[in-house]
Amino acid sequence: MILRAIISTIIFIVAILPSPSLATDSKQVAESVYSEINSPFCKGKLLRDCPSTGASGLKEEIRILATEGKTKNEIINTLYNRYGNEIRAVPSSSFIGKMAWIMPFLFMGFVLVVMVLWLKSNISRNRNNYPRKSS
């Protein structure tokens, strides 16, 4: 009877202890979340790069959520609901989200093409306005 109670207790303790792979997975999930959101405490910095005490508390909260088995997407959605889209460091998968990240590069490319064409036309116009010296 006592032996059965001891064995049952040991099995129960082993069952509730987190496995090393779960700890590693939860650490990877937490680190991934830190790299995909901006810190609400340090404007313009990722959460992983923010040295504030508020960011340290948020990182600890994320670690706890990951240890509880929450997925990366669940944690990120929880943070978006709490802090809003201002902390989004990765574009959303929607069309508008992707366009918001692509449009500045398209605009810069367009401006570059316009500048090159303008310079080419001005250079050729200036060459025609000044006669060449004949020797």
Nearest-CA neighbor of 85 among 38, 31, 122, 130?
38
- Inform me whether the pLDDT recorded for 90 exceeds 50: yes
Q: Over the stretch 97-131, which tens digit does the pLDDT of each residue have?
A: 778 778 899 999 999 999 999 998 888 777 766 66
Cβ(66)–Cβ(22) under 8 Å? no
pLDDT digits 0-9 by tens, 48-66:
899 999 999 999 999 999 9
**pLDDT value at position 21?**
46
Each domain of the chain, given as residue ranges in start order, spans 16-90, 93-135
Give CA–CA dist 52/85, Å, rounded.
20
Q: CATH class for domain 16-90?
A: mainly alpha
Residue 95 pLDDT > 90: no
